[in-house]
């Protein structure tokens, strides 16, 4: 199976669903159609020719820890060298720290393509992105001078060190310690687990961002500080000058992502681990959310990428595997399984979920850029609310759908999907973690119905409902049978989302338990409607373009067909989810465990 970065689909999503054209000019005077096309084309070449060939091998021959040194899968070092030389990591960072000053949306497209090519390789790059954003936000001038140029270029990589054996989603239990030395440095001690790319052999230095407690820290999350801890000490002139007392002491044996080293990290085993405070004392949680919000969108896009890879593999198999005959045909040659309606249903489901997920994440990224760089204050304010609303949906809905897509990919392969030979199982194993890390998807749902919905009294959610209504009206006005059907489905689903939103806002005044009980079905409902909005928008653009000279009618009609399939299968599901959202806490009341045992 030959993988191809879906450059055309990525560009269509940017231009016709996510509103990328609104970023041209203003803060991005160099941005143009030609530049975007050139970047995506070169990205496709790099991913197809350099990164994608590593995917299968990294699963079979993963990262190993030997004599205290983590060695990555064969080919990773060279691929990462080309990543640095190509300037891929610097796309969206400010020019004054060595970046290219382009929109973050292009960096999100990079994450999409890299994760489709090889998720184990790609995941390390996103941790560096989070470290850069956090240092830009909270670092001193000296920290920025010493660390940002090398991190932005990719010559050094970054990590986030949050989790400990007793402190996972609840970081109030962090026990790592930081002792001030009186000279602006701190001695760091403690253990961290699940640290992605905590050690490796692809870069000269690793900059760890570590949550720890000062001696006088209050209990709970209010007592957490963040520290910058390099693997190799950095001298005042930026040169490297000897190992710090930090090491990987174990690698997790994971279900998937075998090429990604997930490390158990020990800080200060000899009492000589030195770091510097990043930001203010006891304000580490604030810095962590800078990193986490960046990571949550990137993780959503990881889901898009691995789902794309699983879909491409399943489609290729369905077009070559012959089994069975058409209904009513008793003899003669067997047909490709693509000819069977149920196989097409699975493939169209996969395609629809990939395209909807990509559109949600790209729209999230465009909102991120507009919130920071739009010339108009009102646009910035509105875009910020959309960014915050879409972030938990991007992360949770897209990664849940990645699990659905890669599972269907195994199903399309039939028995061959259940053996490792075809590679379909790898995508399913790799995708599974994305719904868990950077805040489990249940936590994303709680964030949606809590901070995001109640935080502004439902204003952002209601504004999105109105946007959905406007899109339904525009699809109806387009005047084609397919778009009229999409409009009707979208309108009903939007009504259901509005009813759920109103109920949750009222329930919040009575009992938060009812709100929390409806959080996960509400996020799914919201994601289904959001996906429907963006696919309908793309379908309208495709229908219009079909009338232009030289149009690729087959490709464009496919966009309309997938939007209709999504409407028939996912918007109808959204319309039925309000009862689950509004069932209240009684539906999940705590039962005596004896009732639940055999």
Q: DSSP string covering 297-331, please?
A: HHHHHHHHHHHHHHHHHHHHHHHH-B----TT--S
What's the start-to-end Cα distance of the chain, in Å?
45
- Residue 341 CB: number of other CB atoms within 10 A? 8
Q: Are 535 and 352 in contact (CB under 8 A)?
A: yes
| CA 131 – CA 152 distance, rounded (Å) | 10
Strands of 295-436, DSSP E: none
Q: Rounded to whole angstroms, how far apart are CA atoms 407 and 409?
A: 5
> Strand ranges (DSSP E) for 165-235?
177-180, 185-196, 205-212, 225-230, 232-234
Tell which phi-psi region holds residue 3, choosing left (phi > 0), alpha (psi between -120 and 50) or beta.
beta
Name 308's Cβ contacts closer than 8 Å, sequence gap at least 6: 6, 112, 116, 354, 358
Taking 3-state DSSP, the helix, strand and coil percentages for the chain, each rounded to the nearest 5, stand at: 60, 10, 25
The three-state DSSP-derived secondary structure of 537-583 is: HHHHHHHHHCCCCCCCHHHHHHHHHHHHHHHHHHHHHHHCCHHHHCC
Question: Alpha-carbon Rg of the chain, whole angstroms?
Answer: 24
Residue 170 burial (CB count, 10 A): 10
Distance CA 186, CA 178 (A): 6
Can you tell me the distance from the alpha carbon of 115 to that of 57, in angstroms, rounded to the nearest whole number? 15
CA–CA gap between residue 372 and residue 173 (Å, rounded): 34
Distances (CA, A) of 327 to 167, 239, 394: 57, 71, 40
* Tokens linked to 483: 């778009």
Which entry of 438, 498, 548, 573 is annotated as an active-site residue? 438
Rounded Cα gap, residues 334 and 13, in angstroms: 37
Q: Could you tell me which of 359, 271, 370, 364 has the C-alpha nearest to residue 307?
A: 359
Query: Is 438 one of the annotated active-site residues of the chain?
Result: yes
Residues serving a catalytic function are: 438
């Amino acid at each position: 199976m030959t993988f191809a970065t879906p450059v055309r689909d990525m560009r269509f999503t940017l231009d016709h669903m996510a509103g990328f054209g609104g970023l041209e000019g203003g803060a991005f005077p160099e941005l143009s159609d030609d530049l975007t096309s050139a970047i995506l084309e070169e990205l496709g070449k790099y991913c197809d020719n350099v990164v994608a060939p590593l995917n299968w091998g990294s699963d079979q021959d993963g990262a190993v820890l030997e004599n205290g040194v983590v060695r990555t899968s064969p080919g990773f070092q060279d691929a990462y060298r080309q990543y640095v030389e190509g300037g891929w990591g610097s796309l969206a960072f400010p020019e004054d720290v060595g970046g290219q000053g382009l929109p973050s949306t292009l960096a999100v497209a990079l994450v999409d393509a890299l994760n489709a090519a090889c998720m184990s390789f790609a995941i390390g790059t996103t941790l560096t992105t989070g470290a850069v954003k956090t240092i830009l936000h909270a670092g001193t001038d000296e920290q920025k001078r010493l660390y940002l140029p090398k991190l932005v270029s990719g010559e050094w990589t970054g990590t986030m060190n949050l989790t400990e054996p007793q402190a996972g989603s609840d970081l109030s239990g962090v026990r790592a310690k930081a002792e001030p030395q009186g000279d602006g440095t701190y001695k760091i001690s403690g253990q961290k687990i699940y640290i992605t790319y905590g050690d490796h052999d692809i870069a000269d230095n690793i900059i760890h961002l570590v949550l720890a407690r000062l001696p006088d820290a209050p209990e709970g999350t209010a007592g957490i500080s963040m520290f910058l801890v390099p693997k190799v000490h950095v001298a005042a002139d930026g040169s490297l000058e000897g190992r710090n007392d930090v090491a990987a002491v174990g690698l997790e044996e994971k279900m998937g992502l075998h090429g990604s080293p997930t490390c158990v990290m020990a800080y200060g085993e000899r009492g000589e681990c030195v770091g510097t405070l990043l930001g203010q004392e006891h304000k580490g949680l604030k810095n962590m959310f800078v990193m986490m919000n960046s990571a949550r969108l990137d993780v959503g896009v990881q889901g898009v990428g691995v789902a794309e890879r699983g879909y491409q593999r399943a489609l290729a198999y369905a077009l070559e595997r012959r089994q069975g005959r058409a209904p009513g045909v008793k003899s003669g040659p067997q047909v490709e399984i693509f000819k069977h309606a149920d196989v097409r249903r699975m493939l169209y489901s996969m395609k629809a979920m990939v395209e909807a997920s990509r559109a949600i994440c790209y729209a999230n990224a465009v909102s991120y850029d507009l919130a920071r760089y739009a010339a108009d204050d009102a646009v910035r304010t509105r875009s910020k609310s959309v960014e915050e609303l879409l972030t938990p949906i991007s992360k949770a809905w897209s990664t849940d759908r990645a699990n659905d897509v890669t599972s269907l990919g195994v199903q399309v392969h039939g028995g061959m999907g259940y053996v490792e030979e075809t590679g379909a199982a790898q995508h399913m194993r790799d995708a599974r973690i994305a719904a868990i890390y950077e805040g489990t998807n249940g936590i994303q749902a709680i964030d949606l119905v809590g901070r995001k919905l109640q935080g502004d009294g439902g204003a952002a959610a209601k504004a999105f409902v109105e946007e959905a209504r406007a899109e339904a009206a525009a699809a109806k006005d387009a005047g084609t049978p397919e778009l009229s059907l999409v409009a009707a489905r979208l309108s009903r689903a939007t009504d259901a989302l509005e009813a759920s939103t109103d109920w949750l806002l009222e329930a919040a005044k009575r009992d938060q338990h009812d709100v929390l009980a409806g959080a996960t079905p509400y996020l799914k409902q919201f994601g289904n409607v959001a996906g429907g909005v963006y696919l309908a928008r793309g379908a309208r653009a495709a229908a219009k373009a079909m009338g232009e000279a030289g149009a690729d009618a087959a490709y464009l009609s496919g966009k309309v067909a997938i939007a209709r399939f999504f409407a028939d299968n996912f918007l109808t599901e959204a319309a039925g989810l309000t009862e689950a959202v509004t069932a209240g806490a009684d539906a999940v009341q705590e039962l005596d465990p004896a009732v639940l045992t055999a």
